Amino acid sequence: MSSTPAESSSSSNRGLVWLVAGAFFMELLDSTVITTALPQMAESFNTQAINLSTGVSAYLLALAVFIPLSGWLADRFGPRQVFGGAILLFTFASVLCSISTNLWFFAGARVLQGFGGAMMVPVGRLVVLRTTPKADLVRAIATLTWPALSAPVLGPPLGGFITTHWGWHWIFLLNLPLGLIGFFLTLRWVKGEPGGRRPFDTAGFLLSGIGCSALMYACDLASHTPFDLPQVAISGLTGFVVMFLAVRHLKRTPHPLVDLEALRIPTFATTIWGGSLFRAAINSAPFLLPLMFQLSFGLDATTSGMLLLALFAGNLCMKFATTWVMQSWGFRRVLLVNGVLVAIGFAACTLLTPTTPLPLVIALLFFTGLCRSMQFTALSTLSFCDVPAERMSGASTLSSIFVQMSAGLGVALGAIVLKVASVWFPAEGSSLPLIDFHIAYWVMALLSIIALFDILPLPADAGNHVSGYQSNR
């Protein structure tokens, strides 16, 4: 029996959502998977492992610089061309990374990868938002959020396995078949014509690029050991000042590189300001937990990585319930109640000790993963529920900038709190006192509570028109 046009269109849309989610996963995984391969890569490049942070930083900085450019490129050349081109560029750069023979060749290849990744995330999401019916938006966004939750958790253990059994080159070569498949599916499923010849905002590009990259560099520096406070402070202050100038310019110019008008929409603004606090707190968990397991509990890297898979399992399992939960209770209630649960999850981590039975540790991490997944999905869906089509490009770009910043900020805040706590409770040799991590978890719990105050002013029915909220429940 042949499928109807409506069924065919729905199937194509689901395929498109999974295509974009797969591209997101490839890009986000690549930013975390190499961390466990750095010693072997340093040996191949005949340099010290700490110098490989240049490659990690180059990738993050390229993302920060080029994400603001993505909306203009999509409008100028069309989403299909930009998204497909980004996948090809990312894939080609991955091959260059795999054949790198020295640090600077590798760093250059990582910059190319960052450029491709900066185009894939906001443009891919823009394509999904423009083609997905409102009734299917929650399900589509739930699919798009799982890479952001799973990649930081799966990246380190996967990178360690590949490096140990196949060699570090295969970390990047795996992107070759995935990228080619993604490119051909893009030609088949992604539509979209150029939106016009909007003038290029050179000043906006320079200011936003410098500001974003300075802030990302400060976050990256803050996650390193030893902690260089003067460099972090100078880079962070530079970023804030330049971003202030960038925002002032974008508000005044008639053709801004990034349209800030979406920030006037209450639901979108809430997910940017309060949502960024939530994301920063949530993104600290994959950084703090494995460090605690290794430096305070005395577990090896493999065991701590396997424990973190419980976090991923919670993320994955919640995906089957997000649509039903939001349809039953509405966005505002879900964000408030689940936000409290996120804070409780962090507070519960302060009860963990080296003598805590592993089943209890796994159960707590699973619970934390459930809450992380629900909050991410609710925030991501609410972001765009009231954004009109003509503002969608700017909104997608803005959201990508803040999501990327909050990911780096979460790791940076975790590192800073550990550093400050160590002033009162100093390290003993290579280990850290457990209380340092407990202080960090309390700070993240407090950050989650503070974020709730940005959600409280929302009306009770905010976003419910896209969730299919049942008012009789």
Q: What was the pLDDT predicted at 2?
A: 47
Q: Report helix, strand or coil for 143.
A: helix
DSSP class per residue in 24-58: HHHHHHHTTGGGGGHHHHHHHHTS-GGGGHHHHHH
For residue 36, pLDDT beyond 70: no
**Residue in the structure block whose two tokens are 């009789």:** 472
Alpha helices in 132-174 (DSSP H): 137-165, 169-173
Task: Answer yes or no: are the C-beta atoms of 41 and 160 closer than 8 Å.
Answer: no
Which is nearest to 311 in space by CA: 377, 355, 364, 359? 364
pLDDT, tens digit (0-9, with 9 covering 90-100), for 235-270: 989 999 999 999 999 999 988 998 898 899 999 999
**Residue in the structure block whose two tokens are 């500001």:** 211
Which of 89-98, 119-128, 187-196, 305-314: highest mean pLDDT? 89-98
Q: Which amino acid is at 181?
A: I
| Domain 9-198 annotated CATH 3.10.129.10 | no
- % of the chain residues with pLDDT over 70: 91
Q: What was the pLDDT predicted at 99?
A: 92
Domain ranges of the chain: 9-198, 201-256, 262-464
Average pLDDT over residues 199-222: 88
For residue 349, pLDDT beyond 90: yes
Enter the DSSP assignment of 431.
Answer: B
> Does residue 286 have a cis bond before it (omega within 30 degrees)?
no
Angle at the Cα of 290 from the Cα atoms of 315 and 299, rounded to 5 degrees: 125
Average pLDDT over residues 280-289: 86
User: pTM of this prediction?
Assistant: 0.82
For residue 466, pLDDT beyond 90: no
Q: Which amino acid is at 241?
A: V
Would the CATH topology of 9-198 be identical to that of 262-464?
A: yes
69 vs 209: CA distance, rounded Å: 9
Report phi then psi at 428, rounded to 5: -115, 100
pLDDT, tens digit (0-9, with 9 covering 90-100), for 444-460: 999 999 999 999 998 88
Confidence of residue 6 (pLDDT cuts 50, 70, 90): very low
DSSP class per residue in 312-381: HHHHHHHTTTHHHHHHHH-HHHHHHHHHHHHHHHHHHHTT--TTS-HHHHHHHHHHHHHHHHHHHHHHHH
Q: What was the pLDDT predicted at 444?
A: 95
How large is the C-alpha radius of gyration of the chain?
22
CATH for the stretch 262-464: 1.20.1250.20
Q: What was the pLDDT predicted at 145?
A: 79
Helices 175-189 and 79-98 meet at what angle, rounded to 10? 170
Better-predicted residue by pLDDT, 464 or 247: 247
